[in-house]
Structure 1
Amino acid sequence: MSQQQSTEDPYTIISSDTHAGLPTELYRDYLATRHHAAFDGFLAEREAQLKAITDLGVRNEDFAANWFETNEEVLRSGWEVDRRDLELDKDGVTGEVIFPDADAVESRTCVPFGAGLGLSGDMDPELGLAGAQAHNRWLAELCKTSPERRRGVALIPITADLPDVLAEIRRIKDDGLGAVMIPAMWMNQTPYHDRKYDPVWALCEELELPVVTHSGPADRESYGNHLGIYVQEVTWWPARPLWFLLWAGVFERFPRLKFGVTEAGCWWVGNMLWFMDRLLLGSRGAAKLAGFEEIKLLPSEYFDRNCFIGASNTKRREIGMRYEIGIGNICWGNDFPHPEGTWPDTLNILRKTFGDVPVAETRVMLGEAVAGVYGFDLEVLKPHAARIGVTPGTLGQTGPDGKVRDLESKWAAAKEIGRHWITGHDVAAVVDPNVQALEV
């Protein structure tokens, strides 16, 4: 995009992370009748669990009461299509990638048998798949209301019986869903480096279905009611499968497979790529080790080719690290309608976060990157973007004359440094060429 981009040219903003789900009891109609008795037991157990965590002080009852009282009508957009579109429009969002569990406060919209954001490798394989299928069926109906604006993420418990898993992946593709969410934690099942999962990766590659994890599950039994520990670690678990797949050669065997980590931030990516690359670029510690035979590229090259980050509520610090992370690897998200996301104040937050970021780079992180991963048609979305009307001026990227400001020069040094272990630059060397660049 040109520096002279006018304020009349809108952004196509696509959230890589929104949530939708029925009030849990309404999933009954999407469950096979043979599972109804188990579903009744699940509903009763869920109410008991909510009371237990309230009694322990883990759940902030005052916050929950205020949240639902303040947003009672709006929260119905978690499953009511017309209301949902109105809320997304007001939030500046043209398109969305939809994950389960619209309610992140009391789990009133959780998927049957806990197979939503809590999808885990140790679930009962039959009930876990049944709950996932119920949500997948409903989600496909939701997405068909505005298929150009929505990409639904199907729940696939890949640690279940492989023939059933592959059949469900084929079914959700035929039903119009656009990605596959796998358990972030395989628990006591086979880890993801094992070749038993190759048929899953092969099928997702063939069907052009991105494979994603999402934050939520963690080692809760170890934390007790110490939620600070949970918050510290909850972004690590969905990221962990990434390096299992990378070092196991999955991205070498399946070069067109796309793998994403959602709602786990992206602040850790630059350091991870530096650490992994240096293992192959000269680390003495790795020189004595075997087991790298399947790795033909640098880890950062696999990451750029195969991976992406659903960077919900992307922080200013993370935007400042974008040249190490890779601009095209950052897919912004608003986490609608969860209270920890940017909704319903997205536009104000985007001004603070992107106000001095070059427009062309902003367009990539706010929409073009996620469109490429999930297959949104940017041309088809243009009328929605024009109607919603978020422009560089909306984000404070224009001057008094209405023209886009020179935002590139501020970031020129950081862009030149990029991944310093690849470019050979560091901050001092860019400012003073007589300073020796940092070693890998």
Structure 2
Amino acid sequence: MDRYMIISADGHAGVPEGGYRQYLESKYHDEYAEYLKGYPPGNGAHRKSLESLGGPVFGKKVTQETEAQKEVKAGGRVGAWDPDRRIKEVEADGIVAEVLFPDGSLQNNAPFFASSMPGSYPYELQAAGARAYNRWLADFCSKYPGRLAGLAVITIHDVEAAASEIQWAKQAGLMGVIMPASVGDSGDLPFYNHPRYEPIWATCAETALPLHTHVGSAVPDYGGLPGARLIFPTESSWFSHRPLWFLLWSGVFERYPNLKMVFTEQGSTWVSDILPRMDSMYNGLFRDIQETLPLSPTEYWERQCFVSAMFRDRTERDARHDIGVTKMVWGSDYPHVEGSWPHSVKTLHNALEGVPEEETRAMLGENALGVYGFDRKLLEPIASRVGPTIDEI
């Protein structure tokens, strides 16, 4: 095929303006109505997020520049909750399929911040919000089977309930799981190396649903203090990286060799830094760990882990061999302001021009095809119609 099959492993979906109400158990409707009051008119960030960061993450200039794009002015972001519009927008951007995450601090997000701010609402409400989001998402993805890979949100205060929700997600056709990136710091829940989480790892491995962390999940409350909105993006990726070493050093990857883990929208070059350091520990002063972990950190990474790149520039491209060409997937981040939509082909050309075709195919589509189990026979005809040509990338 003379075109690339591009799969975005980082998209965002959710419905605003109280759209989860029909999916939420009726006993929580009053709390949901109160929760929605925290949003300003339109679809801005929730009061809790604004109070933590001292204002919106992005300033007025960036927001105005984004809103001025003709695709945005034409309503292109409606694809966050309209599957027909979504397919139209991503096909125009050269993409044949997507992996879908919740939508940050906006109304589109899972109710009660189920996916992003553990403990910001009572856990019972957050679990109900996760279930409502997951059921909405399953309906959303069912409109285009095999092209929209939804990720189930789980809350982790009740691990048996989380395991049951993962089983439900598998039966409902969802194709992965997203968990809070960071726990343990507040003292409310233990770190991920605690045995209590074993049912979650076991169920993800059993169902073959990849486990994910995403940037911006479970970061601290910054109290609206000076610099908070820049401190947040500076360090939020680190919180999303942490499950790698918690799960690896505590033996989770050894116990569950079929468990796949994907690190999304948190950069990728950090992998080429942390793995050599962990390998040095494994082979050096801490080599006694080899008695219980027969593989090195790099070997566990190569067997079970993946990282999503955005390829905004050539930095990630130049590090691809240290990260692992077969370990990288790509995401447009549609419809977020920091993503490459609606100029993904141009962005990828600027970053990947000169990369061998086989490597480009792997990072832009083939790797994701394997991680999520997309159907090649379904996607290749679509790629032959909407995918960019070899020369365009």
Q: TM-score, normalised by structure 1?
A: 0.81
The CA deviation string for residues 229-265 of structure 1, in whole angstroms up to 9 with x for no partner, is 2121011111101110000000000001001110001
- Which residue of 2 is the match for residue 413 of structure 1? none
Name the CA distance, whole Å, in 2 between partners of 1:280 and 1:51. 39
Determine if contact 1:120/1:184 at 8 Å carries over to the other structure: no
- Which residue of 1 is the match for residue 43 of structure 2? none
Alignment partner of 2:161 out of 161, 164, 181: 164
Determine if contact 2:179/2:212 at 8 Å carries over to the other structure: yes
- Which residue of 2 is the match for residue 114 of structure 1? 113
Superposition map of 1:347-362 within 5 A: 347-362=345-360
- State the SS of the aligned residue for 2:30: helix
Residues 1:12 and 2:5 are matched in the alignment: yes
Alignment partner of 1:243 out of 245, 252, 265: 245
Name the CA distance, whole Å, in 2 between partners of 1:274 and 1:222. 36
1:305 is matched by which residue type in structure 2? Answer: R
Moved more, 206-215 or 8-17: 8-17
Name the CA distance, whole Å, in 2 between partners of 1:312 and 1:256. 26
Alignment partner of 1:148 out of 143, 146, 149: 146
- State the SS of the aligned residue for 1:255: coil
- Which residue of 1 is the match for residue 189 of structure 2? 189
Determine if contact 1:58/1:225 at 8 Å carries over to the other structure: no
Alignment partner of 2:22 out of 13, 16, 29: 29
- Which residue of 1 is the match for residue 265 of structure 2? 263
Name the CA distance, whole Å, in 1 between partners of 2:117 and 2:145. 25
Determine if contact 1:313/1:342 at 8 Å carries over to the other structure: no
Structure 1 or 2, whichever has the larger Rg, is: 1
Determine if contact 1:121/1:183 at 8 Å carries over to the other structure: no
Q: TM-score, normalised by structure 2?
A: 0.90
Name the CA distance, whole Å, in 2 between partners of 1:377 and 1:215. 28
Residues 1:294 and 2:295 are matched in the alignment: no
- Aligned-pair CA distance for 1:294: 2.5
1:108 is matched by which residue type in structure 2? Answer: Q
Name the CA distance, whole Å, in 2 between partners of 1:61 and 1:351. 29
The CA deviation string for residues 376-424 of structure 1, in whole angstroms up to 9 with x for no partner, is 12222111101103121121xxxxxxxxxxxxxxxxxxxxxxxxxxxxx
- Which residue of 2 is the match for residue 5 of structure 1? none
Determine if contact 1:16/1:370 at 8 Å carries over to the other structure: yes
Residues 1:380 and 2:378 are matched in the alignment: yes
- Aligned-pair CA distance for 1:46: 3.5
Residues 1:81 and 2:80 are matched in the alignment: no
Q: How many residues are aligned here? A: 379
1:195 is matched by which residue type in structure 2? Answer: P
Name the CA distance, whole Å, in 2 between partners of 1:302 and 1:223. 39
The CA deviation string for residues 270-315 of structure 1, in whole angstroms up to 9 with x for no partner, is 111110111122x3x435xx65542110100000101101223454
Gaps of 5+ in 1: 1-7, 396-440
- Aligned-pair CA distance for 1:163: 2.5
Name the CA distance, whole Å, in 1 between partners of 2:154 and 2:307. 19
* Shift in CA distance, 33/68, structure 1 to aligned 2, threshold 3 Å: farther
Name the CA distance, whole Å, in 1 between partners of 2:221 and 2:314. 29
Determine if contact 2:52/2:223 at 8 Å carries over to the other structure: no
Alignment partner of 1:174 out of 166, 171, 175: 171
1:219 is matched by which residue type in structure 2? Answer: P
- State the SS of the aligned residue for 2:371: helix
Residues 1:43 and 2:43 are matched in the alignment: no
Residues 1:209 and 2:202 are matched in the alignment: no
2:222 is matched by which residue type in structure 1? Answer: E
Name the CA distance, whole Å, in 2 between partners of 1:384 and 1:221. 45
Determine if contact 1:331/1:367 at 8 Å carries over to the other structure: yes
The CA deviation string for residues 38-68 of structure 1, in whole angstroms up to 9 with x for no partner, is 1111111334717965995545346546645
* Shift in CA distance, 347/268, structure 1 to aligned 2, threshold 3 Å: same
- State the SS of the aligned residue for 2:242: helix
2:324 is matched by which residue type in structure 1? Answer: G
The CA deviation string for residues 200-256 of structure 1, in whole angstroms up to 9 with x for no partner, is 111111110000010113223267341222121011111101110000000000001
- Aligned-pair CA distance for 1:122: 6.5
Identity of matched residues, %: 38
- Which residue of 2 is the match for residue 220 of structure 1? 221
Residues 1:97 and 2:99 are matched in the alignment: yes
* Shift in CA distance, 268/63, structure 1 to aligned 2, threshold 3 Å: closer
- Which residue of 2 is the match for residue 369 of structure 1? 367
- Which residue of 2 is the match for residue 430 of structure 1? none
Superposition map of 1:128-139 within 5 A: 128-139=126-137
- Which residue of 1 is the match for residue 236 of structure 2? 234
Name the CA distance, whole Å, in 2 between partners of 1:306 and 1:229. 31
Determine if contact 1:95/1:150 at 8 Å carries over to the other structure: yes
The CA deviation string for residues 157-184 of structure 1, in whole angstroms up to 9 with x for no partner, is 1x22122212111111111000000001
Gaps of 5+ in 2: 41-45
- Which residue of 2 is the match for residue 410 of structure 1? none
1:28 is matched by which residue type in structure 2? Answer: R
* Shift in CA distance, 121/376, structure 1 to aligned 2, threshold 3 Å: farther
